[in-house]
Structure 1
Amino acid sequence: MPIPGGTHGVGRSLLRDDVFRRLRDAIVDGTFEPGEQLKDGELADWLGVSRTPIREALLRLGASGLVQAIPGRSTTVTTIDPRAVRDARDVIAAMHALAVRQVAGRLGDDELARMRAANRRFAEAVASGRVADALDADEELHRIPVAAAGNQALESVLDHFDPLVRRAEGQRFRHDGGASVQVHDRLIEALAAGDAEQAASVAFEIWHSLAPADEDPSS
């Protein structure tokens, strides 16, 4: 598939993380298909940025297993290994459980309000079939307790493995996103009540129940 046409650039002020998310999401949603070559010059033109943030983003995606750099050739989108997704899912589940256990009862009213607002946006996106928006709202919701925990090692692990599981998340949201709204509510209320063990249990359930691409997400 060629680089998409007609897409507006994202501006000179685009941050490295923004470039990374745009490329990650283009792989996750199938805009860039497995086996497709990604050339940094074409990607830079598409997003309206220099090649430097593109190359940095491709390095991060390579470390996460979404692309493979072949010496002397352009970078190629990988075919996702279901076993790698399961392994990443298990690690992410443990990290989110750890984060919410640490911050249960410590989140401020503003942080809890932002989680509830993100869940409302998530519910609206799922109801209207906007999977990309649902993924963004879900990421915002879960990153609030992670940021509050202030554990940089934990955040680094999540940044590394998150791209592999986003495809499984999208699959879930297409099939049964409504159920995730209710589970998010349970997580938020456990955090508000200071119930660390319940919050950790719900967080682990959310992530550990993600099904890789070779599994039925409704099973």
Structure 2
Amino acid sequence: MPIPSGGPAVDRSLLRDDVLWRLRDAIVDGTFTPGEQLKDGELAEWLGVSRTPVREALLRLGSSGLVVALPGRSTRVSTIDAPAVRDARDVIAAMHELAVRQTTGRLGAEDINRMRDANRRFAEAVEAGDIGAALDADEEIHRIPVTALGNHAVETVLDQFDPLVRRAERLRFSGDGHASVELHSQLIELIAAGDVQAAASVAFDMWHTLPAEDGTDADPARPPL
């Protein structure tokens, strides 16, 4: 679709990461569609910034697989590639399993309640068909153990590969996200009960309920617990 008209400009004092997040979110939410050409001049005008942070953001999005740059020609939004989604999904599942394994028994009541509240909002968003709000609530649920873990390497890996999976996940929530409400509830209550093994298993397995774009569902053998 064309570059959106109007909309709030990015404050020039904000870090380059804010430009990255705006562009990343526009790809994930479908504002920019697969195959669409992205011109740094138009993007800079839309965001109200110079071309430099836009170009840097596009380079970083390329490393995440969200855009494909053809040297000297153009930068386009990547198509949703099933093998790439499966690979990213497996990495993300392992990172979330690690976070849950290391933080179960350490999360306080406030963190548990925040996860429950986010799942309530997730369920409401799914029921209302608000896919954007559902994705936001889903990310909040999973990010609470990750933040509590405080492992910068884990956070870096998730920041790189999560958007690729989120774009595919949006298709699932556009269909029927009700099953995810129950999976979230299982995860949260297992964490609350301090059941490390079971919570870690659910944290890993629930990411493999996300089918690949080609309709297949990779289900690799689980690593030893």
TM-score (normalised: structure 2): 0.88
The secondary structure found in structure 2 opposite 1:69 is strand
Aligned to 2:113: 113
In the alignment of these two chains, the number of paired residues is 217
1:68 maps to 2:91: no
Identity of matched residues, %: 71
The secondary structure found in structure 2 opposite 1:72 is coil
- How far is 1:101 from its partner? 0.5
Contact 1:14 1:49 in 2 (8 A): no
Give the alignment's Cα RMSD to 1 decimal. 1.8
**Rounded Cα–Cα distance in structure 1 between residues aligned with 2:112 and 2:49:** 35
- How far is 1:10 from its partner? 4.3
The secondary structure found in structure 1 opposite 2:76 is strand
Q: Can you list the C-alpha shifts for 1:150-193, whole angstroms capped at 9, x where unaligned? A: 11111111111111111221112122211111111111111111
**Rounded Cα–Cα distance in structure 1 between residues aligned with 2:109 and 2:40:** 43
Aligned to 2:222: none
Contact 1:12 1:48 in 2 (8 A): yes
**Amino acid in the other structure paired with 1:128:** A
Aligned to 1:191: 191
**Rounded Cα–Cα distance in structure 2 between residues aligned with 1:12 and 1:146:** 30
Map 1:160-179 onto structure 2 (within 5 A). Answer: 160-179=160-179
**Rounded Cα–Cα distance in structure 1 between residues aligned with 2:14 and 2:119:** 26
Tell me which moved more, 6-15 or 50-59: 6-15
Aligned to 2:157: 157
Aligned to 2:86: 86
Aligned to 1:104: 104
**Rounded Cα–Cα distance in structure 1 between residues aligned with 2:154 and 2:184:** 21
- How far is 1:204 from its partner? 1.0
Aligned to 1:135: 135
The secondary structure found in structure 2 opposite 1:75 is strand
Structure 1 unaligned blocks of 5 or more: none
Contact 1:12 1:49 in 2 (8 A): yes
The secondary structure found in structure 2 opposite 1:31 is coil
Aligned to 1:56: 56
**Rounded Cα–Cα distance in structure 1 between residues aligned with 2:156 and 2:195:** 26
**Rounded Cα–Cα distance in structure 2 between residues aligned with 1:10 and 1:188:** 36
**Amino acid in the other structure paired with 2:172:** R
Q: Can you list the C-alpha shifts for 1:91-133, whole angstroms capped at 9, x where unaligned? A: 1111111110000010012211221221122111111111111
TM-score (normalised: structure 1): 0.91
**Rounded Cα–Cα distance in structure 2 between residues aligned with 1:216 and 1:30:** 22
Compared CA separation, residues 17 and 128, structure 1 to 2 (3 A): farther
Aligned to 1:30: 30
Contact 1:122 1:137 in 2 (8 A): yes
Tell me which moved more, 5-14 or 164-173: 5-14
The secondary structure found in structure 1 opposite 2:31 is coil
**Rounded Cα–Cα distance in structure 2 between residues aligned with 1:212 and 1:168:** 8
